[in-house]
Each structure stands twice: as C-alpha cells, then as structure tokens.
Amino acid sequence: MAEQRVLERIETTSGVSIFRIPLEVFSGYIAYAHLVVHGEHFTLVDTGSGFANSPDDMRHAFEEIRRTHGLAATIEGLHRIIVTHGHIDHFGGVPHLQSEAPDALITCHPLARPVLINHDERVLYTKGAMQDFMLRAGVPAEKRDTLMQMFMMGKQTYPPMRVDEVVEDGDRIDDTLEVIHVPGHAPGLIMLLIDDVLLTSDHILPETSVALFPESIMPYTGVGHFIESLEKAQQVAGVRMALGGHEWPMIDYYDVVERTLSEAHRKVERVLAHCDEPRTIYEIAAQIYDHMDGYGELLRIEQTGARVEYLNQRGMLMIDNLEALEQEHSPALRYKRV
Ligand SMILES: [Zn+2]
C-alpha cells in the first residue's frame, strides 16, 4: 500500500478527533505525529525530528486544521506534548515546540526521560556499549570505524529538555489517553489508547517489523521485551483502528500483531539454525544476509546480536570459547547451539 502524505482526521467512538500529521523527519522519510482534540484540550503526540522539513510540515498541518476543520488549533495553545519514545524522529521537535508553546506539559514514560533531559549522556554511554558490542560480535577490525561512524551519524546533540510529567503503564492522561508501556524497540516506548483508536507509535507498524537492539547496548530493549510487549499488544481490547508512527493506518490491528509476533519468533529460530557450528554474531549475520554493507550492515549486526542475546539469556545458545572471555576484555565470542 502506498503511503499517503495527507493530513487525515479520525474520530473515536466518544467523538475525540485525532489528526494524523505527516512530517518529513529525514530527507524522504516520513513519521507521523498526532494531534488529539478532546473537549477544550489539544494534545500533541510526538513532535517529529526538529530538522529537515519537519518543523515546517508541523506548522502547515496546524494551519490546515484551522482552515479546513475550523478548530482553534495552534502550537502556542497546546496543552500537552506526549513523547512516545526517545528516538529523534519522535522527540527531536521538542526544543522547538517548547519555545513556541511554553505552557504545554511535556510528558513521557520514566524510561524515556533520560534521553530528553540529558541526551548527550545517553549518546556517549551508548557509544561505549556499542564499541564493546562490536568487539564481542567479532566485527572485523577494518569495518569497525566505519560502522561506529554510521552509528553516531544520526545522533547529533540536543539541548537538555524539560520533562514536566512522567506516565506509567495503566495511567489515563486527562481521562482520555490510556498509557500502555511496550518496551522493546525503545525502553520507554508507550502506546496510547483513545476509545477504539490505538496510537501504536513504533511498536506495531503495518509492514515493517521495527529495528531491535541488544540490551547490552541499551537496557530494556531487546527481543525478550519486544516479544512480551507484542503479547501485551494482543490483549488490548476493542481496537478498531491503529495508527503507527510510520506507514499507513491499520484496520486489521490484531492480524498485524499476530504476524509481527510470529515473524519475531521465526527470526530467532533462523539464528538458532545457523549455530550448529560455533559462530560469532558477525558470522551468523553474514550467513543469514546476502548483503553486508552500508547502514543496513550495522542494523543487521545489531538485530542478529539482539537475537543471539535472547537465545543466550534463555540457555539455548552458549559461548563456545569461554577461555577467551577469561583472558581478554571483550573478545569475539563464538556461540553454539546447546
Ligand atoms: Zn523509534
């Protein structure tokens, strides 16, 4: 299905209006923010990246909502801005919006707060963890620098942002938006249920199974949390329409969750099938994927690492060269099926 880059209006059963706002967050890449209008309240869910066309797209969307739908929607008049998780295409617009809408409450899950209030600390901490991960994954020395540069590329610095309120699983924001915490793709990832419409952010997307990272790089991510959060997503009752942070609206939410879950298990099985012989994460990734270059290579190594970690946590893959671990700091580890 082709992506429609148009502003859409969706009504929930109790008459809450949700505007789906397309934003070009990187060149050629679209993410969606959502404006939720309930009574006198204007709540913005996610903020775009703050660069590329994202701020202009946001401004134009508000103009269109005023012009076409006759609502007094302004950025300055926002009551609340909810950040669904700490990835730049979702929170990067916060500094911008905070200066335009100083009275808006900035709201996120506690596990997303560190990214907002001290982004640079998170980036530098993660950089060290990533360097260790690449050593243990057995990434060839000549590739490591390039891959590290790619890893750091999208992680420009952001000023410290204010967080006014944190919300936990089960909370109801303004008696309208129910918070569902679904860690995996990101630690503080939340979905928001408004009557029969579910904002799934990056947890559930109609086509793409989202990127996963090992918990050794970022705690509270990883395949284990992702699978548990998919099972949790299955239990959310009464979803007529689901709106993700990318791609198109879903009217078949439960089928999409089911498919994503079986794909997650299938990909874990595929890693296991390549481990009859002891192999490093890098070698397993090279066996599974034909093309190992560019940004895709980095993602494939990380995803394979996340699956190996999941299997190792559950005693299905064990380290074959323990003696190296005894002698060196972060040696390349070889995993073998138990
Ligand atoms: Zn994300």
pLDDT (tens digit, 9 = 90+) per residue, 40-89?
Answer: 999 999 999 998 899 999 999 999 999 999 999 999 999 999 999 999 99
Residue written as tokens 């190992």?
A: 292
Residue 239 three-state SS: coil
Q: Tell the CATH topology of 8-117+160-266.
A: Metallo-beta-lactamase; Chain A (3.60.15)
Question: What confidence tens digit (pLDDT) does each residue in 132-158 have?
Answer: 999 999 999 999 999 999 888 767 778
Q: Spell out, as residue ranges, where the chain has pLDDT lower than 70.
A: 1-4, 154
**Distance in Å, CA 245 to ligand 1 centroid:** 8
**Distance in Å, CA 260 to ligand 1 centroid:** 16
Q: What are the domain boundaries of the chain?
A: 8-117+160-266, 124-153+274-337
**Distance in Å, CA 201 to ligand 1 centroid:** 8
**Distance in Å, CA 94 to ligand 1 centroid:** 15
**Distance in Å, CA 118 to ligand 1 centroid:** 18
**Distance in Å, CA 311 to ligand 1 centroid:** 24
Residue 108: phi and psi, rounded to 5, are -155, 175
pLDDT of residue 192: 99
Residue 40: phi and psi, rounded to 5, are -90, 0
**Distance in Å, CA 317 to ligand 1 centroid:** 28
**Distance in Å, CA 191 to ligand 1 centroid:** 12
**Distance in Å, CA 87 to ligand 1 centroid:** 5
**Distance in Å, CA 319 to ligand 1 centroid:** 31
**Distance in Å, CA 44 to ligand 1 centroid:** 17
**Distance in Å, CA 67 to ligand 1 centroid:** 31
**Distance in Å, CA 31 to ligand 1 centroid:** 10
Task: Return the percent helix, strand and coil in the chain, to nearest 5.
Answer: 40, 20, 40
With 0.85 as the threshold, say if the pTM is over it: yes
pLDDT of residue 153: 78
**Distance in Å, CA 104 to ligand 1 centroid:** 23
**Distance in Å, CA 337 to ligand 1 centroid:** 31
Distance of CA 252 to the CA centre of its chain: 21
**Distance in Å, CA 91 to ligand 1 centroid:** 10
**Distance in Å, CA 85 to ligand 1 centroid:** 7
Distance of CA 41 to the CA centre of its chain: 26
**Distance in Å, CA 62 to ligand 1 centroid:** 24
Closest by CA position to 210, among listed 237, 186, 175, 180: 186
**Distance in Å, CA 90 to ligand 1 centroid:** 7
Residue 72: phi and psi, rounded to 5, are -85, 50
For residues 213 and 217, give the distance between their C-alpha atoms in angstroms, rounded to a whole number.
7
Q: Name the CA dihedral angle for 169, 171, 176, 177, rounded to a multiple of 10 degrees.
A: -20
pLDDT of residue 24: 96
Residue positions counted in the chain: 338
**Distance in Å, CA 297 to ligand 1 centroid:** 18
**Distance in Å, CA 310 to ligand 1 centroid:** 20
**Distance in Å, CA 186 to ligand 1 centroid:** 7
pLDDT of residue 2: 53
Residue written as tokens 């998170």?
A: 122
pLDDT of residue 182: 98
Burial class (CB in 10 A: 0-12, 13-18, 19+), 114: middle
Q: Report whether 218 contacts 87 (CB < 8 A).
A: no
- Alpha-carbon distances of 275 from 78, 140, 292, 338, rounded to whole Å: 53, 19, 19, 9
Q: Report whether 283 contacts 138 (CB < 8 A).
A: yes
Which tokens belong to 267?
């990909």
Residue 166: phi and psi, rounded to 5, are -110, 150
**Distance in Å, CA 27 to ligand 1 centroid:** 16
pLDDT of residue 83: 98
Q: What is the DSSP letter of 112?
A: G
**Distance in Å, CA 14 to ligand 1 centroid:** 29
Q: Name the CA dihedral angle for 91, 310, 199, 179, rounded to a multiple of 10 degrees.
A: -90
